[in-house]
Structure formats: structure tokens, C-alpha cells
Amino acid sequence: MTTRLRSRHLLGIAGMEPDEIQLVLDTAETMLEVSGREIKKVPALRGKTVVNFFVEPSTRTRTSFEVAEKRLSADTLNITASASSLVKGETLIDTALNIEAMNPDFIVMRHSEPGAHALLARICRSSIVNAGDGAHEHPTQALLDAMTMRQKFGRLSGLKVTILGDIRHSRVARSNIHLLTRMGSEVTLCAPPTLIPLGIEQLGAKVLYDTDKACAGADVVMVLRMQLERMKTGYVPTLREYAKLYALTPERLGLMHPEGIVMHPGPMNRGVEIDSAVADGPRSVILDQVSNGVAVRMAVLYLLAGGEREDAAATAGAGR
Ligand code: CP
């Protein structure tokens, strides 16, 4: 079992070994304890500077990274595309090099271009953390999803996980497929054929087009948003028809394993990919996912910074 991440960047789950995933999840459990204290602050990243650079919109990821950084005592600052010189035509590379000139320790970035983070990792001294790159990867989302499943079932191995919805445009789907197949879960993808990327089975997931069959016996159904802003052509005849064939409804919830849980990374299109009765029901862990997002992002930053010789709990204790 490793005690360190092998890279100083987090670009995607595809580059992580199972023991590194396990390390992040175990460290995140310790960080969850910090978030439950009255004084939710530890000195692990004191003196470190984190730039949150979001070129695409975000509520959960940006906020939870900032909360995580503050709980670790880092100095944080936020740059959004609309308030940056990107709108004046400055390139991503020039923008990154100018941020680097201020000597931050981390750049947490969301960008619409797959591979934008890999490019920055080649030219930057700071640790680059992928907070979502186009339809490519969203590694911290997959890690917080895995943490949520592990909390509910005590394991990832052997879990039957169905990912239902717009797989084509989803970085969440890709990162989850990488993570869950590495950790021994059985992954089924379900969507209309137009929203399943060609060859995705090669990543180790099964594809079904019948939602009832895909939900039958599932331990987890992870519903994905219809990413209407990324759809330039009509992938489905109408949203009403999509909802009829592919939404997670109370009837389809009834087909799952009796202890099965419902997940959604957000933001939700209620009444399109998921019924409100399901999203707000007792088997939904959607808000647990958000809480776990803070713990996972604390763990990632802490480990990328090098961790500690002693374990994370001991470091956390120093802040009491
Ligand atoms: N899950 C997720 O990435 O949500 P945001 O787009 O709000 O960050």
C-alpha cells in the first residue's frame, strides 16, 4: 500500500494506480473528520498558495475546492474566464505563465479543452489539478463518487454500477469508468445510441440501451445530466421522449437492488434525466456526494503537497 501519489499533478484517473485511489479515499475519510469539528481548520497547507482558475462555470467543484483549501489553511484566490484577460484574447499558455510568475503551489483548473491540463503540466512548476476538461476527465468527481459508494457499501469491488444518461459529453462518466473498473466494480452504461461514444466498451464497461434492464439489480444508479449546452445537433427527438425512455423514475428505482442508491454529480435537470421524487427520496445520496467532495479535495491537495511523514489524522490534530 503506497503512502504517496506518484505524480505531483492530478490530470485524470487514467493515470492513477488502484493503490493511489485507495490512498486518496482513506485520506479523505480522515479529512471528513476535520470537516465535522467545531474549528474546521488544520495547518497542512499553511504558506501554500492555490489559484482556482475556472474557464467553465461551476458551483460544486469550485466552491468545494475553495472550502477544502481554506480548511487546510492555504492562501486561495479565484480567477474566472470572464474576469480574466482571456476575454482580451490572451492565450491559455500566456495566462498560465503569468499566474506561474506569482509563484503559486497549485493551479486548480476547469477548462473546455480536453488535454488543457496536460499542456499546463508540461510548462508549469506548480501542481496542476484537473477540475474538469471538456468531455475528457473529472478525476475529483470520480474520487468523491467512489468515496460515497464505499461509505454506503464498505467496498467497491463487485458493486453493480449503472451510469445512466448523456455518456457522450460526460467527463464524469469517463473518470468513473476508469476508477470503478480499476477497483473491481461491474460498470454498465445506458443511454440512447446517439449518446454512447463509439468504442467505450474498450474501457471495460458493458453497454445497454434498455433502461429497465440497466437498472435491474443495480447497487448504484449514477444519473448524468443531459448536457444540452454541448449538443449542437439533435441527439434525441425531444426531451419528453428522452425522459420517458431514460429518466430514473420511482418505477425504475423499484427495479434496483433493495438497498441500492441513487447518485447524480449535478447540476440536475429535474424531470428530464431524474424525477424529483427519486432525487429527493431516501435512497438518494446526491448531497452526501457534495459533502464528500470537500473531503476528497482536501485529501488530493494534501497528498499532492507531499503528505506528511506521520498520518493525516496526526497532522489534522495539530490544528485543534
Ligand atoms: N459536479 C460538478 O462538476 O458540478 P459543478 O459543475 O457545479 O462543479
pLDDT in tens, 23-41: 999 999 999 999 999 999 9
User: How high is the pLDDT of residue 100?
Assistant: 95
Q: In this structure, what C-alpha cell is assigned to residue 259?
A: 438497498
If you ran DSSP here, which 8-state letter would residue 219 be given? S
- Among 63-72, 79-88, 111-120, 308-317, the minimum mean pLDDT is found in 308-317
pLDDT, mean over the chain: 93
The pLDDT value recorded for residue 307 is 79
pLDDT of residue 297: 98
Q: Write down the pTM of the prediction.
A: 0.94
As a whole number of angstroms, the distance between CA 27 and CA 300 comes to 8
Percent of the chain residues topping a pLDDT of 90: 90
Percent of the chain exceeding pLDDT 70 equals: 95
More confident residue, 115 or 312: 115
Question: Measured in angstroms, how far is the CA atom of residue 32 from the centroid of ligand 1?
Answer: 20
**How confident is the model at residue 308, as a pLDDT?**
56
Closest Cα to atom 3, ligand 1: which residue?
A: 61
* Residue 132 Cα: closest atom of ligand 1: 3
Supply the pLDDT for residue 319.
39
What is the distance in A from the centroid of ligand 1 to the CA of 117?
17
Calculate helix-pair angle for 18-35, 60-71, nearest 10 degrees: 70
- Position 33 scores a pLDDT of 93
Q: Within 13 A of 138's CA, how many CA atoms are on the CB side?
A: 26
Distance 306 CA to ligand 1 centre (A): 26
Ligand 1 nearest atom to the CA of residue 138, by list position: 3
- Alpha carbon distance 156, 32 (integer Å): 19
233 SS3 class: coil
Q: Which cell numbers in the block locate residue 262?
A: 441513487
Write the pLDDT tens digit of every residue in 307-319.
753 444 444 444 3
Q: Which atom of ligand 1 is nearest to the CA of 63?
A: 8
- What is the Cβ-side half-sphere exposure of residue 143, based on CA atoms within 13 angstroms? 36
> In angstroms, how far is the first alpha carbon of the chain from the final one?
29
Length in residues, the chain: 320
Q: Cα(167)–Cα(174) distance, rounded to whole angstroms?
A: 8
26 to each of 44, 59, 144, 215, 303, how far by Cα in Å? 17, 25, 12, 29, 11
- State the average pLDDT over residues 93-103: 96
β-strands 160-164, 220-223: how paired? parallel
Considering only CA atoms, which of 296, 231, 307 is closest in space to residue 13? 296
CA-based torsion, 189, 190, 193, 197: positive or negative: negative
Question: Among the atoms of ligand 1, which is closest to the Cα of residue 265?
Answer: 1
Atom 1 (ligand 1) nearest CA: 265
**Mean pLDDT to the nearest integer, 220-239:** 84
Which of 52, 53, 54, 60 gets mutated to test ligand 1 (max ligand atoms within 8 A of its CB)?
Answer: 60
Cα–Cα nearest to 260, from 244, 243, 278: 278
Q: Any alpha helices (H) in the chain, and if so which ranges?
A: 18-35, 60-71, 92-100, 116-123, 139-153, 171-182, 211-215, 239-246, 250-253, 276-279, 286-304, 312-317
Q: Give me the mean pLDDT over the 125-146 stretch.
A: 97
Q: Say whether pLDDT at 142 is over 60.
A: yes
C-alpha–C-alpha distance, residues 230 and 168, integer Å? 10
Confidence of residue 232 (pLDDT cuts 50, 70, 90): low
Task: Give the pLDDT confidence score for residue 229 in this predicted structure.
Answer: 75
How far is the CA of 70 from the CAs of 43, 119, 308, in angstroms?
10, 27, 18
Ligand 1 mutation target, pool 52, 54, 56, 61, most atoms within 8 A of CB: 61
pLDDT (average), residues 287-303: 98
Q: Atom of ligand 1 at shortest distance to CA of 61?
A: 8
Kindly indicate the confidence band of residue 1, based on its pLDDT and cuts at 50, 70 and 90.
confident
